[in-house]
Amino acid sequence: MAKEVVSATEKRKKAQREYLRNHPNYNVSLFLFKPRNPIRKFCQRIVGPGRGGDRIEGVTPSVPVWYAFSAFIYAAIIAMVILACVTTPLYQREYFLTHEFSVKNWFVWTDMGFAIVFSVEALIKVIADGFFWTPNAYFRGSWGFIDGVVLITLWVNIVTSFYNDGQITRTVGAFKALRALRLLNISDSTRDHFHSLIVRGWWKLFSVSQ
């Protein structure tokens, strides 16, 4: 059985290499960064594969740099979720009763800071492994998709705050609850349970309903 597994893995890798030889433009991130591009290699040294366990036609991440970058992102995620629990729409409404809206308000700066940090993270991962149409594409996996949704809602929250002079609607304010989904990245076991119950379970429920 072990030999069959190894043989199947080797056949799959051989098929992947053959496909990439026949389609040289397939594994080009953002239609610009080829596998041997130095900028792409630099990004691949910082982060792990966006999807799958092994990176196809790329370099392995530097373990100390990867762990340090991941620790920084995890700390930012925890801080973002804690501040989201503090700066609720009710808190902001009461805050603006005694303060005028300004970009200098502390929670406006913190939200923008988190948005910039996670945008840089997403850019590094997209350059390293592609957006969606590459083998290890970041947003092709379920976790990359969740990260993308959280990042979009974060920017929507910031833009809405500026547009409405800090007055956030209930719908946009509810987006803050989605930030907690990024906490799933901290624990592998939590991600596995979430994937089994929500992602796979949703598809099974959808199949049964047909």
Quick: pLDDT tens for 26-78. 778 888 888 888 999 999 999 988 776 777 777 888 999 999 999 999 899 88
Furthest-apart CA atoms within the chain: distance in Å: 71
The lowest-confidence range among 126-130, 132-136, 191-195 is: 191-195
Residue 175 amino acid letter: F
Q: Do 113 and 154 meet the contact criterion of CB atoms below 8 Å apart?
A: no
Query: C-alpha distances in angstroms, 9 versus 2, 15, 16, 20, 89?
Result: 11, 10, 11, 17, 51
Q: In this structure, what token pair is assigned to residue 168?
A: 């956030």
How many angstroms separate the CA atoms of 68 and 157, rounded? 29
- This prediction has a pTM of 0.76
Residue 141 tokens read as 């996996």
Residue 52 near residue 134 (C-beta atoms within 8 A): no
Q: By the 8 A CB rule, do 76 and 117 touch?
A: yes
Q: Mean pLDDT across the stretch 7-15?
A: 63
CA distance 207 to 210: 5
The CA-to-CA distance between both ends of the chain, in Å, stands at 36
Under 8 Å between Cβ of 168 and 92: yes
137-157 pLDDT tens trace: 888 877 788 888 888 888 888
